[in-house]
């Protein structure tokens, strides 16, 4: 990646021009950059392109037909894959996918949370509606999604068993609300999960890690429990034979932001739910990794080499 000068021009019909103050960095940006995005949901983009799925900033020009926003409004967005391009000081973006950011939510907190929390909203409210008393197995529990999901599930009254790759991530997983943090490089996470649950297994596994953990995780889920796959930081899961699900009668589903956030009304409802959760104090704020925009290469290097906990934010 390198920084270049590019004039985005004036917004077209239905668009805003946004002067950005904070930009979220997501693992999906790494997939796009490396060209390892899952073939069914994310297009391999022709190079050069501008990565980035979420941002916060001020409206500085309004396109024809936009009535809900005015110049100077402070707004945020978490985009779908067709509208990537957030790594910029100024950009154009569809107005119907933006929303006003309440004044009590800081720019950096919003950029750190929104895309991931909108994803988590779909996962814990729709893929598997988490409720008090549930026991959850969550991989990469100290990561960006992991931090948000564990805090939200803990808030809902679930018991979260988190996995992390090193001892130095344990404290963050526990601070996120995990009742147990398993260092899966040192300990068999399936055996430990079964031990914690008295042999029963968890109600649901949320997996954003993919091939390295997917198949063994099925053995840690209770009879008639659910596996929600939502990512593949370690690589795409191989095709699965339904027989793998038969023994315990498991349910398997795959979350995709492209699907769950395609409909604007559904996306806006998820965003509103997330804003409410932020305002209700569900998430710890101010504990994100912040990089200047021109250190974006450094930010990606840290994220893909597993040196980060929580979310990463670029500041122009």
Residues that bind ligand NAP (CB under 6 A): 26-28, 116, 119, 140, 142-146, 164-165, 169, 208-209, 212, 230-234, 255-257, 303-304, 306, 308
Q: Which CB, 73 or 229, lies closer to ligand NAP?
A: 229
Q: Which CB, 53 or 196, lies closer to ligand NAP?
A: 53
Q: Which CB, 147 or 159, lies closer to ligand NAP?
A: 147
- State the minimum distance, in angstroms, from the CB of residue 13 to ligand NAP: 28
User: What is the Cα–Cα distance from 268 to 75, expressed in whole angstroms?
Assistant: 13
- State the minimum distance, in angstroms, from the CB of residue 174 to ligand NAP: 13
- State the minimum distance, in angstroms, from the CB of residue 5 to ligand NAP: 28
Q: Which CB, 53 or 250, lies closer to ligand NAP?
A: 53
Exposed e or buried b per residue across 97-114, where buried means at least 16 C-beta atoms within 10 angstroms of its C-beta = bbbebeeebbbbbbbbbb
User: What is the Cα–Cα distance from 196 to 9, expressed in whole angstroms?
Assistant: 57
Q: Which CB, 159 or 308, lies closer to ligand NAP?
A: 308
- State the minimum distance, in angstroms, from the CB of residue 313 to ligand NAP: 12
- State the minimum distance, in angstroms, from the CB of residue 183 to ligand NAP: 9
């Amino acid at each position: 990646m390198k920084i270049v000068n590019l004039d985005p021009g004036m917004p077209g019909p239905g668009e805003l021009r946004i002067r950005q103050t904070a930009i979220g960095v997501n693992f999906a940006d790494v997939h796009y950059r490396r060209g390892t995005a899952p073939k069914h949901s994310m297009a391999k983009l022709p190079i050069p392109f501008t990565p980035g799925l979420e941002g916060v900033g001020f409206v500085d020009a309004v396109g024809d037909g936009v009535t809900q926003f005015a110049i100077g409004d402070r707004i945020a967005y978490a985009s779908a894959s067709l509208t990537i391009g957030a790594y910029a000081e100024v950009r154009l973006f569809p107005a119907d996918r933006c929303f006003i950011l309440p004044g009590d939510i800081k720019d950096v907190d919003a950029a750190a949370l929104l895309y991931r929390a909108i994803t988590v909203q779909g996962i814990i409210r729709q893929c598997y509606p988490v409720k008090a008393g549930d026991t959850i197995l969550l991989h990469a529990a100290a990561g960006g999604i992991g931090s948000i999901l564990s805090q939200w599930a803990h808030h809902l009254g679930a018991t979260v068993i988190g996995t992390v790759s090193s001892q130095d991530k344990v404290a963050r997983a526990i601070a996120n609300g995990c009742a147990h943090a398993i260092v899966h490089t040192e300990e068999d996470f399936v055996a430990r999960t079964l031990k914690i649950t008295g042999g029963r297994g968890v109600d649901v596994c949320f997996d954003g890690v993919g091939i390295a953990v997917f198949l063994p995780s099925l053995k840690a889920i209770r009879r008639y429990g659910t596996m929600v796959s939502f990512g593949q930081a370690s690589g795409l899961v191989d095709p699965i034979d339904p027989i793998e699900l038969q023994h315990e009668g498991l349910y398997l589903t795959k979350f995709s932001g492209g699907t769950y956030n395609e409909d604007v009304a559904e996306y806006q409802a998820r965003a509103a739910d997330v804003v409410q959760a932020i305002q209700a104090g569900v998430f710890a704020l101010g504990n994100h990794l912040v990089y200047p925009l021109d250190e974006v290469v450094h930010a990606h290097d840290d994220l893909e080499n597993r040196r980060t906990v929580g979310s990463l934010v670029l500041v122009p």
